[in-house]
Amino acid sequence: MIISSANDYREAAQRRLPPFLFHYIDGGAYAEYTLKRNVEDLSKIALRQRVLNDMSQLSLETQLFDETLSMPVALSPVGLTGMYARRGEVQAAVAADKKGIPFTLSTVSVCPIEEVAPAIQRPMWFQLYVLRDRGFMKNALERAKAAGCSTLVFTVDMPVPGARYRDAHSGMSGPNAAMRRYMQSCFHPHWAWNVGLLGRPHDLGNISKYLGKPTGLEDYIGWLGNNFDPSISWKDLEWIREFWDGPMVIKGILDPEDAKDAVRFGADGIVVSNHGGRQLDGVLSSARALPPIADAVKGDIKILADSGIRNGLDVVRMLALGADTCMLGRAFVYALGAAGGEGVANLLELIDKEMRVAMTLTGAKTIADITADCLVNLDKVLAE
């Protein structure tokens, strides 16, 4: 199969992966309206073409929290990435590292912090959920620090998990789930051999280390499900500050008032995100939520954005709407599921090239040049 985009990787991943894994990554919450809007709203934003400006020297480099990024992109935390390729988090982290961009390890990764961080040169980012078990949170922060992680991404849009209909139908959860997953694996022998067998253990690596016993998919649904904490408030973030002195980024902001609170709290960054449409279906797409947030806090705090970004043009659009850096979720996992770490590396090169085309034809020579001036009729396009 010829691969020229994240969508091609999506199709290739669908063929290679057992359905329960494909739908876990591909699906969203409830009727998946927000998931669709994330992608559609971004692709509708019109770029403003400019020509004859000698665009032979472009720079995609950017600075974020004292780190130099070869382009303004980081990989979002995605739980169970290690199920999509053999020791998948390590493979994805190595690809990001070679490209010169940050990889964020999820709380609920397959590979633990101690396996991924030493595999790469640049410091890893670590994502933490607020969980009832504060002992786990403290333990995870201490381990992330000991492993040299630079930035904490604190996800706040999951005080309760959203309902994902596809998971119940695919065998990820629901009746006879384990049997259904086993049967699906038998019909996907490449995955079954390479990942199902040779990629073991399929623990929730960070949680097994804390509990001192092996964990698995059932604990993902059980332990984690019981541990989400709806009582979370800004006070809990004060508590975390005691254990984390590096940059702290709050992920899951969709409203300017919450963004202002993040500035007041003293966070170093926010991620404008609706969790890829996996939490509250019906909320705004990130592309629509971002401009008023940027109006409220741009310059006071670093603004990262994810949800719906599938190519380099989308990255340029998000930057023009006010983001400082973008994050990729599904796009990199599709590539990982289809072609392992090489797939992720290739996807990042595609995004680099697409960004260069978009910058050349909008007249932006540097990342700082990507502003609302690169867009046409912003208000009109977004009001539609």
CB of 319 to ligand FMN, least distance (A): 15
Q: Which is nearer to ligand FMN, 247 or 361 (CB)?
A: 247
> Does an H or E element contain 155, and which?
strand 151-155
Task: Find the binding residues for ligand FMN in span 185-244 (CB under 6 A).
Answer: none
> Has 1 been labeled as part of a binding site?
no
275 counts as catalytic = yes
The tokens 């995004």 sit on which residue?
A: 351
- Which of the stretches 130-138, 142-150, 324-332, 342-350 binds ligand FMN when contact is defined by CB under 6 A? 324-332
Task: Find the binding residues for ligand FMN in span 127-156 (CB under 6 A).
Answer: 127, 155
User: Considering only residues 170, 185, 273, 362, which one is a binding residue for ligand FMN as defined by CB under 6 A?
Assistant: 273
> 123 and 226 in contact (C-beta within 8 Å)?
no
CA distance 68 to 265: 25
> 91 and 190 in contact (C-beta within 8 Å)?
no
CA distance 207 to 224: 9
Does residue 307 touch ligand FMN according to CB under 6 A? yes
Does residue 77 touch ligand FMN according to CB under 6 A? yes
Q: Give the contacts of 317 (CB within 8 A, at least 6 positions apart).
A: 42, 45, 47, 287, 375
Q: Which is nearer to ligand FMN, 236 or 369 (CB)?
A: 236
CA distance 231 to 85: 35
Does residue 269 touch ligand FMN according to CB under 6 A? no
Does residue 173 touch ligand FMN according to CB under 6 A? no
Residue nearest to ligand FMN as judged by C-beta position: 329
* 131 bridge partner residues: 228
Q: Which is nearer to ligand FMN, 72 or 361 (CB)?
A: 72
Q: Give the contacts of 79 (CB within 8 A, at least 6 positions apart).
A: 106, 107, 108, 109, 220
> Has 215 been labeled as part of a binding site?
no
SS3 51: coil
User: Considering only residues 306, 314, 324, 354, which one is a binding residue for ligand FMN as defined by CB under 6 A?
Assistant: 306
Main-chain phi, psi angles of 208, to 5 degrees: -55, -45
Which tokens belong to 301? 């705090």
SS3 157: coil
CB of 363 to ligand FMN, least distance (A): 27
> Has 334 been labeled as part of a binding site?
no
> Has 105 been labeled as part of a binding site?
no
Residues taking part in catalysis: 275
Annotation: binding site for substrate: 24, 129, 164, 278
Q: Given the rule CB under 6 A, which residues bind ligand FMN? A: 24-25, 38, 76-79, 106-108, 127, 155, 251, 273, 275-276, 278, 306-309, 328-331
